[in-house]
Structure 1
């Protein structure tokens, strides 16, 4: 059964170690905290609870168990996440699914299997004594050793129209699957298919789990094909703007150094890793996208781009400034010597010089300013050039700021840096940008700010008590046996909390004490989110049992006061509101005396 599979996987996975693969975490008391990988923020609001085996973000409200985390992180379906974690834990899953789910899983798995088979086919060709000799010679001449080529699974596509299609891979998977995988293309006029990659050295592109989802091909020397590089087309597995080449191998050092170096080509990545600089990845020869930045900032605090300084256009630099302002990560640029690629630089100068190049990278704001300064001062002279450079630089910043929401603190820090660079007083900069129409509304600036628990928790005693009780029960299910004798589902005033309590009471009565990480998967999404929030709040309580006892007492007192208020209403208001006897008068006096007590007035009397 799938439920059994899910339980076995969740019990086998350590959620802290799982999330640490993607998010730098620091221990804080009984929990671990870090920057949320699912929204932009400067202050950590992402909590991981090892005891309950769940995560929760106070900023964006994302939360769940290990499976939920993988679903969100990798943007995959439940079954794919379950299978990935099962494989990691060495658990064999029960093979069953609904017909529709089975079909979707089967189709996706077929594409993955086809890529694995194609990767093996291409690699075998590269290492074939005769057929791969020319390609190996070329790669060796470029400085690549065999170990590096094998680590990255580098392969070779034959100089033929249908080597893959007509070979064992084509016979096993068929044209339809290979076409869906982007490995073959239809001929014009629809008369048959041909291989997508021909006469190229191939680099497997993998997802974060190390699964091949596409290929990138570099043309062989002497080829007449004008396209030097060719990537797989967009498929159900692969989107060029979301993929990062080499991330699966670079992730560990990125986490350790908190820095990732981004280059253009596959060969640059392979060579960097060969030289021991393993925090290097590639964005597949395209301008870096927001999706790629979002992926990389989950692992790194600093992204360093390496490219030819002369080749960078104004639009590209402007885009980097935009991302510097709108993304909660430091973006820096290291200029390569003109006409030299990173792999050539490494071969000529070695890893130490390459590391110095990375260390000397300029943040995007400084890089853009120095670039404009050189451009205008060289053509206009010192004074005029400086004035024009300042004007264009401020226009660049205004356009970048208008491209998306910018955190107030980040914008203030940026202006302080700009003031130092341009020698324009920061007060003047604020005045200039306030006057510009392109500046975003002030209300849009607070992106990703952590909302404190106190601000989210209504001060009303009933609300606080209900939240404490449910949070305590979620953290320590054994407390329910005592609690259910003193409070019932119907006693919860809030409809959402009452609904959650009803589900919890039902589970306790029918199935026993729930394991939070497992129970969450059985709840509707809105209930699971509420449960996570309450459980996370309960983690902040110094003594869960004492807090619940206090909350139960509070609600009991509130219920009694409400009952007394009802009695007063009946005794004092017609019809039937006459005090019939001395007992009624004594009761009313007692109730009025209680109402004067400050502690009871705070309870809502």
Structure 2
């Protein structure tokens, strides 16, 4: 069990309860996922698996969330930890700051101190780097060249402040000297990509020199990386980004999403641009639902983020060959997703090469609106490109081109898209090829969609046991454990034999065995072993999710209150009878089966007599 525990808590448990009481789970989750009312609950696409039909429920009355497909479950702290990849203490401090709660300072035991930099250390290094670069931007000498670039780009002071723009001086030791003067550890700066090591002596020097700095923030506004644009045209490369770290995955990060998320949810549409300055220009021009990729093509991770927030995506690509290739890649990434995707080619409406240039012109915003309104459906765009390639093709080349396109679309999930959309795609292909739709339908091979990147079907999670806890029929002992997780005082109702029954012996799912062990240890420590309390002490995410998932199953059956107590007593009776039945079967194979069996039968009869009501059927899975 030692591997489960967080170690000595850094905060008073009363702080934890205060923070949770002050944090509305609907608001916290609703900031990153689009929630839809469903009676007294809310439903949404689960952000923890490849969800296409809303399977996660948020229950404001109990302040919990639960996905009935992948098994992810928990309270507001659990969600913040899992979604934002935070440690417990980091999530608690984040929610406390949101709620305006001052936490009681407590020092961790020496044994709890990590050997290397923590995520919190990296965040502090990024925050210090941000302030350092922002200060340099305002420096009369060191920020002069960067300010000239900003002025030339027409970026307003408000945007400079909102996006935390800064400058790196034309020297290699500015930030490194500041770090040493403040006697701060250098390791977090190296890991965050702010420092590099000299080959000669291993000393630190600045990773960014003579550049305009664009801090990259995560969805809740913390700086996790940096983008840097050259000031002098002779410097290479033009753009320089932080390396990927524990904080930063560029394939899953969208620049400006922390500023755009609310507008994206309200408008149900996201604008995707190709760079920092384009995204900033859009926000400055009033198009506050704009984000940008970070020097990489759109990925499935980007799509996963977007589909939880909106119904439509507009891609802003250049009309050149590189932009067309990017559009082709985007069409493949978005193909099987439940999103309407359009591509906006500005060259159809203006000679401006990008949104940044267009929105700086007089009347540019109106032209931009027209361009967005005239955006083409992404599949129409893809098929138009295909039509151009096959325009002068002979019969054999045309047939081969259509067959290759069909094969590619099948690989991308054609057979998994909704029937109506599949029919529309077939109709477009038939029109392109000049044949009847039935010909295209016959050309689509039978078979299933290719497996996901982990080798299984898309959306299968690593924690394979968690969905089973949500869907399989539970036995009496599993229901008992769930009752205790709902109301920790029920542990005190159990006798020692019953406690051993709940916390001892193997469960069919090992993760529940670990939950039961945690419950026993918490009770032995004098703490009510509820799911909420367990989540504060247990490090393993799957154990926390299993506990909340089991608690949610009981919630659905009982609604707590008096019904919980009655349900608990019913499960206790059934668990005792189950145990007696097991002893009867075991006795029949013993050394003296007749005598042992008779004793076990007496035990069974006594259990039925003393426990009263006949055994009742336990609830089936919801």
Give the TM-score taking structure 1 as reference length.
Answer: 0.78
Shift in alpha-carbon separation, 1:429–1:196, aligned structure 2, 3 A: same
Cα distance in 2, alignment partners of residues 226 and 293 from structure 1: 31
Tell me, yes or no, if structure 1 residue 535 matches structure 2 residue 551: yes
Cα distance in 1, alignment partners of residues 440 and 318 from structure 2: 31
Aligned to 1:342: 355
2:534 to 488, 495, 519: 519
Kindly indicate whether the alpha-carbon contact (under 8 Å) linking 1:408 and 1:445 is maintained by their aligned counterparts in 2: no
Shift of residue 200, structure 1, vs aligned partner: 1.9
Shift in alpha-carbon separation, 1:104–1:334, aligned structure 2, 3 A: farther
Please say which structure displays the higher CA radius of gyration. 1
Tell me, yes or no, if structure 1 residue 269 matches structure 2 residue 279: yes
Cα distance in 1, alignment partners of residues 225 and 615 from structure 2: 68
The number of equivalent residue pairs is 570
Cα distance in 2, alignment partners of residues 408 and 369 from structure 1: 18
Kindly indicate whether the alpha-carbon contact (under 8 Å) linking 1:245 and 1:282 is maintained by their aligned counterparts in 2: yes
Aligned to 1:580: none
SS in 1 for 2:322: coil
SS in 1 for 2:108: coil
Shift in alpha-carbon separation, 1:568–1:162, aligned structure 2, 3 A: closer
Kindly indicate whether the alpha-carbon contact (under 8 Å) linking 1:477 and 1:514 is maintained by their aligned counterparts in 2: yes
Kindly indicate whether the alpha-carbon contact (under 8 Å) linking 2:318 and 2:324 is maintained by their aligned counterparts in 1: no
Shift in alpha-carbon separation, 1:419–1:558, aligned structure 2, 3 A: same
Shift in alpha-carbon separation, 1:180–1:519, aligned structure 2, 3 A: closer
Tell me, yes or no, if structure 1 residue 124 matches structure 2 residue 138: no
Shift of residue 511, structure 1, vs aligned partner: 3.9
Aligned pairs for 1:28-47 (under 5 A) are: 28-47=38-57
What is the aligned-residue RMSD (CA, Å)?
4.5
Aligned pairs for 1:488-527 (under 5 A) are: 488-489=498-499, 495-496=506-507, 511=526, 513-522=528-537
Render the CA deviation track for 1:26-67: whole Å, top value 9, x for unaligned.
233343221100111122111223333322211111122223
Cα distance in 1, alignment partners of residues 186 and 527 from structure 2: 52
Aligned to 1:307: 317
Shift in alpha-carbon separation, 1:564–1:193, aligned structure 2, 3 A: closer
Kindly indicate whether the alpha-carbon contact (under 8 Å) linking 2:317 and 2:323 is maintained by their aligned counterparts in 1: no
Cα distance in 2, alignment partners of residues 193 and 393 from structure 1: 56
Cα distance in 2, alignment partners of residues 218 and 568 from structure 1: 75
Aligned to 1:392: 401
Cα distance in 2, alignment partners of residues 600 and 181 from structure 1: 61
SS in 2 for 1:488: helix
Kindly indicate whether the alpha-carbon contact (under 8 Å) linking 2:477 and 2:575 is maintained by their aligned counterparts in 1: no
Cα distance in 2, alignment partners of residues 504 and 161 from structure 1: 55
Between 1:79-88 and 1:173-182, the stretch displaced more is 173-182
SS in 1 for 2:331: helix
Unaligned runs of 5+ in 1: 578-586, 591-598
Shift in alpha-carbon separation, 1:299–1:189, aligned structure 2, 3 A: same
Cα distance in 2, alignment partners of residues 224 and 392 from structure 1: 44
Kindly indicate whether the alpha-carbon contact (under 8 Å) linking 2:88 and 2:536 is maintained by their aligned counterparts in 1: no
Shift in alpha-carbon separation, 1:11–1:393, aligned structure 2, 3 A: farther
Kindly indicate whether the alpha-carbon contact (under 8 Å) linking 2:167 and 2:212 is maintained by their aligned counterparts in 1: yes
Tell me, yes or no, if structure 1 residue 71 matches structure 2 residue 85: no
Shift in alpha-carbon separation, 1:548–1:389, aligned structure 2, 3 A: farther
1:205 to 213, 216, 220: 216
Shift in alpha-carbon separation, 1:433–1:500, aligned structure 2, 3 A: same
SS in 2 for 1:358: helix
Tell me, yes or no, if structure 1 residue 549 matches structure 2 residue 553: no
Aligned pairs for 1:386-465 (under 5 A) are: 391-392=400-401, 394-399=403-408, 401-402=410-411, 406=413, 409-410=416-417, 412-423=419-430, 427-434=438-445, 440=450, 447=459, 456-458=471-473, 463=474
Aligned to 1:372: 386
SS in 1 for 2:247: coil
Cα distance in 2, alignment partners of residues 91 and 238 from structure 1: 28
Tell me, yes or no, if structure 1 residue 286 matches structure 2 residue 293: no
Shift in alpha-carbon separation, 1:563–1:336, aligned structure 2, 3 A: same
Shift in alpha-carbon separation, 1:498–1:113, aligned structure 2, 3 A: closer
Aligned pairs for 1:526-605 (under 5 A) are: 528-541=544-557, 544=560, 545-546=562-563, 549=566, 552-553=569-570, 556=573
